[in-house]
Amino acid sequence: MKKNISPDLVTIHHPRSPIAEAYRILRTNLEFSSLDRPLRLLLVTSPGAEEGKSTVLANLGVVIAQAGKKVILADCDLRRPSLHELFGLPGNMGLTNMIVDEEALKKPPLLETGVENLWLLPSGPLPPNPAEVLASRRMGEVLKRLSSEADMVLLDAPPVVSVTDALILASKSDGVILVIRAGRTRKEMALRAKELLEKVNARILGSVLTDAQLDMRLQRYYGS
Ligand SMILES: Nc1ncnc2c1ncn2[C@@H]1O[C@H](COP(=O)(O)OP(=O)(O)O)[C@@H](O)[C@H]1O
Ligand SMILES: [Mg+2]
């Protein structure tokens, strides 16, 4: 097991597993859904807390990077940032530094993840007013700067239903993936999230079901 890297990063620890294969299918589906419209800024969010947003985003980033694209994972969850923990990296320098510091905007404080082509931009110090920071013009500049550094930027965000942060980011993104957790996300919450995203004209590309029962036939096919 790779040192410091969370076991939740299945695509790193078990690249031949059915779970990693599911992430590669997701990668392919995203490619098909963005044939005529570029997908450089992709937001991953979910209706509520602890539904697997950060886990899905990080694993998706890994398989896209493994396909040879340069990917930045940007932790825009300025309330409960967690991407740095998944990779066992420090989270104290990152996005909010780029917001307030001209030097950091010019030279983004990206961290190597140990995966080729994959960089992490942690949240940086947490501001008292996350929604305002994300809605600022400066945040637009930060996203532009990050886009110029990579083929794809994946944005991690708080849940859609409780705070406005994800909706602000959705309106600045080229597409949104909505994570739904089996046995946890309530149907009304999922519908509410979809409704809120549609109101800000977000381009919902699809949803990802997490914590679902693994199909045993698939398990046998891959022989593990
Ligand atoms: N597919 C999954 N199956 C089971 N547990 C999961 C899955 N994805 C994430 N988890 C667990 O759920 C918790 C929340 O995951 P996380 O990705 O941080 O959610 P969020 O970003 O939505 O808050 C973590 O402890 C993680 O280990
Ligand atoms: Mg999260």
Beta-bridge mates of residue 71: 118, 152
Cα–Cα distance measured from residue 219 to residue 221, given in angstroms and rounded to the nearest whole number: 5
Q: How many CB atoms lie within 10 A of CB 213?
A: 7
pLDDT at 34: 86
- With CA atoms as reference, report the closest residue to 173 among 160, 193, 154: 154
Enclosing domain of residue 36: 17-221
For residue 175, being part of any structural domain is answered with yes
pLDDT at 224: 42
pTM: predicted TM-score of the whole model, two decimal places: 0.94
pLDDT at 218: 59
CB 163 within 8 A of CB 79: yes
Helices (H) and strands (E) in the chain, counts: 11, 7
pLDDT at 111: 98
* Helix extents (H) in the chain: 10-13, 18-33, 53-66, 83-87, 95-100, 102-106, 130-135, 137-149, 165-172, 187-199, 216-221
DSSP state of 50: S
For residue 51, being part of any structural domain is answered with yes
Cα–Cα distance measured from residue 142 to residue 162, given in angstroms and rounded to the nearest whole number: 25
pLDDT at 48: 96
206: left (phi over 0), alpha (psi -120 to 50) or beta: left
For the chain, the domain total comes to 1
Residue 212 CB–ligand 1 contact under 6 Å: no
Q: Quick one: 53 exposed, middle or buried, by C-beta within 10 A (0-12, 13-18, 19+)?
A: buried
pLDDT tens profile 34-65: 888 889 999 999 999 999 999 999 999 999 99
Which of 50, 56, 180, when mutated, tests ligand 1's pocket best, judged by the most ligand atoms within 8 Å of its CB?
Answer: 50
Return the CATH number at 173.
3.40.50.300
pLDDT at 94: 98
| Ligand 1 atom with the shortest distance to the CA of 156 | 21
For residue 11, being part of any structural domain is answered with no
Question: What are phi and psi for residue 168, nearest 5 degrees?
Answer: -60, -45
For residue 118, being part of any structural domain is answered with yes
For residue 75, being part of any structural domain is answered with yes
pLDDT tens profile 182-195: 999 999 999 999 99
Residue 52 CB–ligand 1 contact under 6 Å: yes
Residue 51 CB–ligand 1 contact under 6 Å: yes
Beta-bridge mates of residue 111: 120
Residue 185 CB–ligand 1 contact under 6 Å: no
- With CA atoms as reference, report the closest residue to 165 among 78, 100, 83, 82: 78
For residue 59, being part of any structural domain is answered with yes
For residue 10, being part of any structural domain is answered with no
For residue 12, being part of any structural domain is answered with no
pLDDT in tens, the chain (224 residues): 577 999 999 999 999 999 999 999 999 999 999 888 889 999 999 999 999 999 999 999 999 999 999 999 999 999 999 999 999 999 999 999 999 999 999 999 999 999 999 999 999 999 999 999 999 999 999 999 999 999 999 999 999 998 999 999 999 999 999 999 999 999 999 999 999 999 999 999 999 999 988 666 655 555 44
